[in-house]
Chain A
Amino acid sequence: MSKDIVLLNKEPFIRMVKRDSITTVKAWFIRMIAVILALIVAALVIVAITKQNPIEVYLGMIDGAVGSKRRLWVTIREILAMLCIAVGLTPAFKMKFWNIGAEGQILMGGTAAAAFMIYFSDKLPSGILLIVIIIVSSIAGLIWGIIPAFFKAYFNTNETLFTLMLNYVAMQIVTFCIVFWENPTGSNTVGIINSATKAGWFPSLFGNVYGLNVVLVLLLTTAIAIYMKYSKHGYEISVVGESEFTAEYAGINVKKVILRTMMVSGAICGFAGSLIVSGASHTISTSTAGGRGFTAIIVAWMAKFNPIAMILVSALLIFMQQGSVQIATQFGLNENASDIITGIIIFFLIGCEFFINYQVELRKKSKEGK
């Protein structure tokens, strides 16, 4: 017992003190260091596994991500898809609603898009078809988002686990649809939809295949940034996120805010589904979402919902992913190397937030301060 008291009297060797504020420059400096450390660790891992020169490996990555015009645009396309999903998740997370069901919402949106591409390609003129596709895919995502929101609002059902389960229900719906849509028969894949007529595909804009993707996603990002920052809805969302009780006392209808916000969030993720299906891959499979729904959560969280930071973070992660595909083929590894490198970078970025929010003080230093 006496030993405990001695221990209690002792000041701990390391103390964490919450910072009152930190300059933006310093915060970004810390993040830069984290990225550099992550790249060093990743390089060590690469060397250990492949026994290649790490600089060569990273050069290979740069070449893979932006080495040619085509590769650059594929990278941009993927960044846009990731950004769109992260933007969609933002309102929900700001409300502290853990929507980890983006994967399912994307798949439902993508399925709706594919369905209209298949069944209405010869019934609607292509301009109207595209608008219809965007609307129905958003609605499909919205429905997938509002189900868990309803149960959260009325029964306080755990939304993290609910949305997670819905991902797999959505995945089975996709495989169910593939049975009817498979082309050629027996392949168990849908193939490129309307490859001859290009009905329901995003048209080229400014002479670029992905021009429309750029315009739509950037418009959406701006709109949501304004919605969150300047609208009454956005304000209500952040109050509910801070404390449901405060929101109730302030006369905010919490249930309504939860339902409305998840409708917005789900609809944007559903739209991302159409962005991927009719704007990029022109096909549907269970890997249409491909883990983007999960990665986007990390993007949205690390960027602190700041749209510019979201672009930077998704660019960094997609860059690494696209680059890793290249080094995988170049050095005869498999493409999952990218997940390992992405994982390492994310660990460092998440970890460095601590040093932005807290200051580490050693015992001696704190005594001098007194």
Chain B
Amino acid sequence: MDLLLTFIQKAIGQGIAILFGATGEIVTEKSGNLNLGIPGIMYMGGISGLMGAFFYEKNVANPIPLIGLFISFLMTFIVSALGGFIYSFLTITLRANQNVVGLALTTFGVGFGNFFGGSISKLAGGVGQISVKTTAAAFRASVPVLNKIPIIGDLLFSYGFLTYLAIIISLSMTYFLKHTRKGLNLRAVGEDPATADAAGINVTRYKYSATVMGAAIAGLGGLYFVMEYYGGTWSNNGFGDRGWLAIALVILALWNPNNAIWGSFLFGGLYILYIYLPGLTRATQELCKMLPYLVTIVVLIISSKRNKHESQPPSSLGKAYFREER
């Protein structure tokens, strides 16, 4: 029982970073932009939050956890939105190819993260690893009182606030996309920008804001990872391929943020399943780590084979829209 409880807790812990990324990517893809730069943006978000907290804690004698939290949150938000802006500017205004820009942004972002993560403490004149214990503790603080309830407390209330924020964002994004005028407009832009344009929707503005917002949300996944999961330190490439898993989760969730919530827990579980499955050898462990990707491929094939309208990617996904070229 204890083992199962730990497994679920760890699975959720793994899943939240992916959930932020997937929710951000869903919002982006709904505007017709396939942003393959999300993995890079998550690195950028993570490191900038960490740097914000680092410089705050370094320059203030008695850092107040809440201010550190606020600064790092803001830094992450701004820098990842900036990443989304670079992507938007190149693909929407300069009409460059989305896949190429996305991949370039990922190269850039991962390099950005590892570069600053590896050398920021040295550049600032210190030695060793960056560590922002005070701020990280604020991120890691779980729900008071409620977390003391046996089992339920561990299962539901033992996480930092970003976990709940991730779920709230996903739920509200689903509501936004399905039940608000702006959300419907956004989906129209993603499905058929020419028709949306004819209906008087400002396609460029929707594409920009969805991509920038999506990037900012995804960046929080990086922040979650360095703060709550790592406890305020950096390890090069530590974030690994979770950014790509986030893009995979978009497929699994069939472009619905609500599905992404349970999907992220499933992915988190699959990601660490090899630790908990008894009787695995070192070799079979490696095969077990393939599971999240194989599951995604199967979902991708099934959903394309069933060809159901609701479970398809937005039809203009990956295509640029130029008004003159209709």
Contact = CB atoms under 8 A, between A and B. Distances in A.
Interface of A: 18, 49-50, 98, 100, 151, 155-158, 160-162, 164-169, 172-173, 175-176, 179-180, 291, 294-295, 297-298, 301-302, 332-334, 336-340, 342-344, 346-347, 350-351, 353-354, 357-358
Given A168-B241, A179-B282, A350-B104, A337 B115 contact: yes
A342 B107 contact: yes
A180 B107 contact: no
Given A164-B244, A172-B290, A339 B96 contact: no
Contacts of B248: 161, 164-165
Contact of B111 (A165, A301, A336): A336
Contacts of A334: 114-115, 118-119, 236
A157 B311 CA distance: 13
A347 B107 contact: no
Which secondary structure dominates where chain B touches chain A? helix
Contacts of A160: 34, 36, 99, 318
A347 B96 CA distance: 10
A18 B300 contact: no
Given A155-B304, A158-B300, A301 B100 contact: yes
A353 B90 CA distance: 10
Nearest to A171: B241
A298 B309 CA distance: 33
CB-based closest 5 A-B pairs: A339-B111, A343-B108, A354-B94, A336-B114, A334-B118
Contacts of B123: 49-50
Contacts of B286: 172, 175-176, 179
26 contacts: A50-B123, A100-B103, A157-B301, A158-B304, A160-B34, A161-B251, A161-B300, A165-B248, A169-B293, A172-B290, A179-B286, A180-B283, A294-B103, A294-B106, A294-B107, A297-B103, A301-B100, A334-B119, A336-B110, A336-B112, A336-B118, A339-B111, A340-B115, A346-B104, A350-B90, A351-B96
Interface of B: 34, 36, 86, 90, 94-97, 99-101, 103-112, 114-115, 118-119, 122-123, 236, 241, 244, 247-248, 251, 282-283, 286-287, 289-290, 293-294, 296-297, 300-301, 304-305, 313, 318, 324-325
Contacts of B244: 164, 167-168
A267 B293 CA distance: 23
Contacts of B119: 332-334
A16 to B, nearest CB: 8
B46 to A, nearest CB: 14
A357 B324 CA distance: 13
